[in-house]
Amino acid sequence: MIYLDHAATTPVAREVADTMYDVLLNGSGNPSSQYPYGAAAKKRLEADRAVIAAALGCKPDELYFTSCGTESDNWAIRLAAHQNRRVGKHIITTAVEHSAVLEPCRQLEQEGYAVTYLAPDRQGSITAQQVADALREDTALVSVMLVNNETGCVFPVGEIARLLRERGSKALLHTDAVQAFLKLPFRADTLGADLISVSGHKLNAPKGVGALYIGPRCRAVRPLLAGGGQERGLRSGTEATAQIAGFAKAVELRLEGYEEKLARMAQLKQYALEQLLTIDGVVRIGNGDAPHILSVSLVGYPSANVVTELGAQGICISAGSACHRGKLSHVYAAMKLDKKTAAGVLRVSFAPETTEADVDALVSALRRHRETRFPML
């Protein structure tokens, strides 16, 4: 199998699986229990938290474990709305956020909030000036992702943070960094965001574990889940110790030769772009700078058909976010792509271990598809 859909999920590394297996067999105590077996689980949990926090650039007590990036996004948005409920009921986000941000914003609209959805340009970019133009006295939250999951565009979150400080805004800043964590250099203690969402399964860790950075400006933190008071009373539910251990191990593995891995992915992305553009009808979509995501379109050829046919050949790519389930992407609609271009969009995403041979196989398969299939009218 040739796997080129690492933005959707990543294979669990063998070392990660071994770490989880050890915790499941030998460290399955409840971290909230008072006896030594539970205390050992708690010690391991806090050590794993410290590993992930260090990689994210925050203090361990600023990092809270969740079940996934979606939960982290939902919690961050509800947290900000609650803390700033007396500031106002205005939210700024983008029209190209992940559904895990857009859907809770839409829920808040039904509760009386006004939401400004910033539109990207034709290349998929968002600017800090757009945030400046939309900012109001009653803005409670600004939520802008760090890397778009479909185009790979990097958004100016640090610049937005400086803007909010200069304006003296009380709005909290959240960024969905699920596609950025350890794929783009940044640190929580210098980025300027108050809330940062990350997820394990984009980094060769298992599904079912994520985390939320909650910065010092977040004072009136409201738990998303009430219950037994785990995670310092802010996220109840017995901690998923095996998944968390796997997350920490995956982070350690990603940090080995980190800069070389980023450079390798960036070089491979450039190689893939050059080779894909040799196919008649292929155009690049967006100007994404993230090293692991490349969006193109085989104009006129429905991407669902391409993905299905290539999948049958053992080549895995996507037609956009895996969360769309075949529906036309709201990201490409917001970019105002014409119908034929939007219908032909393909997302190719890489890992440090992806090879040029993998790309060559993809290019050959796409060329055959174009030569043997008819485009839509």
CA distance linking residue 156 with residue 168, whole number of Å: 18
Domains held by the chain: number: 2
In a domain, 377, yes or no: no
CA angle 245, 246, 251 (to 5 degrees): 100
Same domain flag for 119 and 34: yes
Going residue by residue through the chain (377 aa), what tens digit of pLDDT does each one get?
999 999 999 999 999 999 999 999 999 999 999 999 999 999 999 999 999 999 999 999 999 999 999 999 999 999 999 999 999 999 999 999 999 999 999 999 999 999 999 999 999 999 999 999 999 999 999 999 999 999 999 999 999 999 999 999 999 999 999 999 999 999 999 999 999 999 999 999 999 999 999 999 998 788 888 899 999 999 999 999 999 999 999 999 999 999 999 999 999 999 999 999 999 999 999 999 999 999 999 999 999 999 999 999 999 999 965 445 556 789 999 999 999 999 999 999 999 999 999 999 999 999 999 999 877 74
Distance CA 262, CA 126 (A): 23
Residue 325: the pLDDT is 55
Say yes or no: 158 and 282 in one domain: no
Residue 120 lies in a domain: yes
Are 332 and 285 within 8 A, CB to CB? yes
Say yes or no: 247 and 322 in one domain.
no
Say which of 68, 153, 218, 323 is annotated catalytic: 323
Return the C-alpha torsion angle 49, 54, 59, 62, nearest 10.
-50
Final residue before a domain boundary, out of 255, 288, 318: 255
The pLDDT of residue 327 is 67
Q: How far is residue 19's CA from residue 122's CA, in Å, rounded to a whole number?
A: 44
DSSP strand pairing (293-298 vs 345-349): antiparallel
**What pLDDT, on the 0 to 100 scale, is given for residue 138?**
98
Residue 269: DSSP 8-state: H
Active site residue 153: no
User: Is 263 found in the same domain as 223?
Assistant: no
Identify the domain containing residue 135 by its residue range. Answer: 14-255
Q: Are residues 248 and 315 in the same domain?
A: no
Tokens, residue 15: 């070392």
Q: Are 287 and 326 within one domain?
A: yes
Residue 174 inside a domain? The answer is yes
* pLDDT at site 323: 46
Domain boundary among 255, 279, 305: 255
Together in a domain, 215 and 277: no
Q: Domain check: are 214 and 294 in the same one?
A: no
Kindly state whether residues 264 and 250 are assigned to the same domain. no
The string of DSSP codes covering 2-71 is EE-BTTT--PPPHHHHHHHHHHHHH----TT-SSHHHHHHHHHHHHHHHHHHHHHTS-GGGEEEESSHHH
Q: Are residues 160 and 227 in the same domain?
A: yes
CA distances from 167 to 123, 137, 164 (A): 28, 10, 5
Burial status of residue 335 (CB atoms within 10 A of its CB: 0-12, 13-18, 19 or more): buried
Residue 189 located in a structural domain: yes
- At 193, list the tokens: 């965001």
Question: What CATH number has the domain bearing residue 227?
Answer: 3.40.640.10
| CB distance 154 to 186 below 8 Å | no
Residue after which a domain boundary falls, among 255, 270, 296: 255
Specify if 94 maps to a domain: yes
- Is 211 within 8 Å of 52 (Cβ atoms)? yes
User: 24 with 65, same domain?
Assistant: yes
